[in-house]
Structure 1
Amino acid sequence: MMEVAEEASLCFPLLINTSCRKPQRPPSAAALAYMLLSAISLITFTLNLLVIISISHFKQLHTPTNLLLLSLATSDFLVSFLMLFQIFLLDGCWLFGDLMCAVFYVLSYVITSVSIGSMVLISIDRYVAICDSLHYHIKVSQIRVKICVYLCWFISLLFHCVCFIDILKQPGRYNSCVGECVIVVTYAAGMTDLFFSFIGSLTVIVVLYMRVFVVAVSQVRAMRSRLRNVILRGTTVKSSELKAARTLGVVVVVFIACIMPYFCITISGQGVLLNASSAAFIMWLFYFNSCLNPLIYAIFYPWFRRSIKLIVTLQILKPDSSQANIM
């Protein structure tokens, strides 16, 4: 009986001497965690797919700001697949081999970086729209936004492939047993990623949105004085731009709250040992943000609710449905 129990506690029972051991958890708690995280993964997949279809299909939504939302929704959509691998890690065992372990971590870093980059671009977009609205359509064009989005994805992929080139060449080099998924972030790579992906990006986002907030408050006060179009320092701001700034400000604040523990805990010191099982909670907190973003859109954006209705009722399959007025 003891031998049977011993084998049951191993990730790979046939490899008794080299297999990792599963952490002991109550079956009811494990079942609850599986159901909860699976539900979050499914909701994240579905809602972000709806955002992608909405912005891609309806011509009226092809604006520079929505292109940035499309980039963010795409990264959030990919997060739903990363969630599936994290669900398998709940029992402390990695079942997909060393190469997939390396790819999983690289993609996690890439998608994280793209999400942060998209937030920075959204902050810049709102800053120009609110603080320099007269030149917004000149400075922020669809072509420029597309170039920035492509560069964000390409640079993120290139940077993290270079950082983890040794892991990709020799997967599993830091594993102590079979069924473990461990990587080592070097001091140089960790500090570079910490600065560009967190400190630098967070500083840009906060500074720009503080400026946007100041201007937006001034505009709201002016609008309450029954002035519909107010010129402050030569800048005219529309109420729709103010509403977009408020909505995207909520997105940014929620994003920062979810991602801050991820960077504060997983990146510190000279060399950080990241164990997939021990870092699961921090990863899921960040992943959960990908589920919240489309919910925020649904609350604040009427066009998203209308587009969902058209998609769910299959109205988008009709001819010329892309020309529908949903604003």
Structure 2
Amino acid sequence: MTSQPEIFGSFLPPKDELAERHFKFESYTQRCILASIFILVFLTGTIGNSLVILSVLFSRKLRTFTNVFVVNLSASDLLICCTLSMNIVALLSRDGFPLPEWICACAAFLAFTGAGCSIYTLAAIAFSRWAVITRSISTQRSWFTSKKLVAMVTFTWIFPALIAFLPPYLGLGTLGYAEKYGTCSHKTSNELSDYYSLLQGVLFYPIPLVIIIVCYYQVFSFVRSHTKHIIDQPDISSTSGQASQNHLNSKNQLTTKERLSKRQIEITKNLFYVVLAFLICITPFGVSLMIPPSDPVIPWTSALLLFNSCVNPIIYATKHPNFKSIFRQIITCRWAEIPEPSQFLKLLRCGK
């Protein structure tokens, strides 16, 4: 039976080209810098994502179907932050990974799964916001039932997990300590590792990117069109004997225009932050995975990708006034001030 390396052999670069591409992340100074970035992401991301989850757990006011995806995003980012501890150990070790290999392989699998889940959850959030703004309440209720929400959330975990697990299981790459980068990822010593990187780049990057851009563009177009329609509507008030009523209508129309204008600017700013953060954090890593000769930049593009794990709570949570308020109350331990406390919080308070 033909071995898998032989099957893919005709598609692999020549050996002399592989030799020319030899790279190893050996500079201990750079490894320490990268480890420091990972420590920062670990601390910030763990605190930020934990606050998001606790906020929804403590307050029924935040239990909307959109926040189901926000919590899922925080859970995936929290998982990534937890796996960073193994990468920090690997980067700071001068003689390879000091713990059993299977620990590094598990950390790599969980990191890939969490990263994929995070990206697809961003797409799910974009879709939910598109539905909230452009579709009727009855349509939203039919689309986002409990069962469908469970199915969507499950997909955001199962699909990335399969992409992380199946290729190594079938021999297309190996999870574990990558000597080239000094991290827990996939072993670049496997001659098919480039295909594993390419597969991840293709399935983890373009599809969610298209969903996010299309959804937010349609949201922006809808709000702009809807606002213009309202503002351009003529004043239908009678002009005979109703001067005071006309003045009131004119004042109300001006207030509506001002309110809608501010709303449009705010929505535009938030969409810009979301898309910009996604592009800045995801694009370099996605492109570097699809271009095998970009080995030297992969440690740094992966750091940028992981940095998204602590940016997301800022964009998706702290911009929300209710999250802001509950964050403050949790941090200052003012449990009694949390609006619409959940049964879990009530039991917690009674236990104290």
> How high is the TM-score relative to the length of structure 2?
0.68
Instruction: Say if 1:64 and 1:140, in contact at 8 Å, map to a contact too.
Output: yes
Q: Does 1:128 align with 2:131?
A: yes
- Determine helix, strand or coil for the equivalent of 1:100: helix
Aligned-partner Cα distance in 1 for 2:333–2:184? 45
Residues 91-170 of structure 1 mapped to structure 2, 5 A cutoff: 91=92, 93-134=96-137, 135-165=139-169
Q: Does 1:206 align with 2:213?
A: yes
1:10-29 deviation per Cα after TM superposition (whole angstroms, max 9, x unaligned):
xxxxxxxxxxx993445xx7
Instruction: Say if 1:67 and 1:146, in contact at 8 Å, map to a contact too.
Output: no
Aligned-partner Cα distance in 2 for 1:103–1:80? 14
* CA displacement at 1:158 relative to structure 2: 2.9
Instruction: Say if 1:51 and 1:304, in contact at 8 Å, map to a contact too.
Output: yes
Q: Does 1:321 align with 2:344?
A: no
Q: What is the match of residue 257 of structure 1? A: 280
- Determine helix, strand or coil for the equivalent of 1:164: helix
Structure 1 residues 203-212 or 66-75, which shifts more?
A: 203-212
Instruction: Say if 2:65 and 2:149, in contact at 8 Å, map to a contact too.
Output: yes
1:101-152 deviation per Cα after TM superposition (whole angstroms, max 9, x unaligned):
3222222221111011101111211222222235222222343222210222
> How high is the TM-score relative to the length of structure 1?
0.72
For structure 2, the 5+ residue unaligned runs are 1-23, 233-252, 346-352
- Amino acid paired to 1:212: V
Aligned-partner Cα distance in 2 for 1:89–1:179? 6
Q: What is the match of residue 16 of structure 1? A: none
- Amino acid paired to 1:61: L
Aligned-partner Cα distance in 1 for 2:67–2:112? 24
- Amino acid paired to 1:67: V
Q: What is the match of residue 63 of structure 1? A: 64
Distance change (3 Å), C-alpha of 1:123 and 1:41: same
How many pairs does the alignment contain?
A: 290
Identity among equivalent pairs (%)? 21
CA RMSD of aligned residues (A): 4.0
Q: What is the match of residue 195 of structure 1? A: 202
Structure 1 residues 32-41 or 255-264, which shifts more?
A: 32-41
Query: Which of the two has higher C-alpha Rg?
Result: 2
Structure 1 residues 221-230 or 131-140, which shifts more?
A: 221-230
Query: Among 303, 312, 319, which residue is 1:293 paired with?
Result: 312
Aligned-partner Cα distance in 1 for 2:335–2:120? 31
Aligned-partner Cα distance in 2 for 1:122–1:180? 29
Distance change (3 Å), C-alpha of 1:221 and 1:318: closer
Aligned-partner Cα distance in 2 for 1:174–1:299? 36
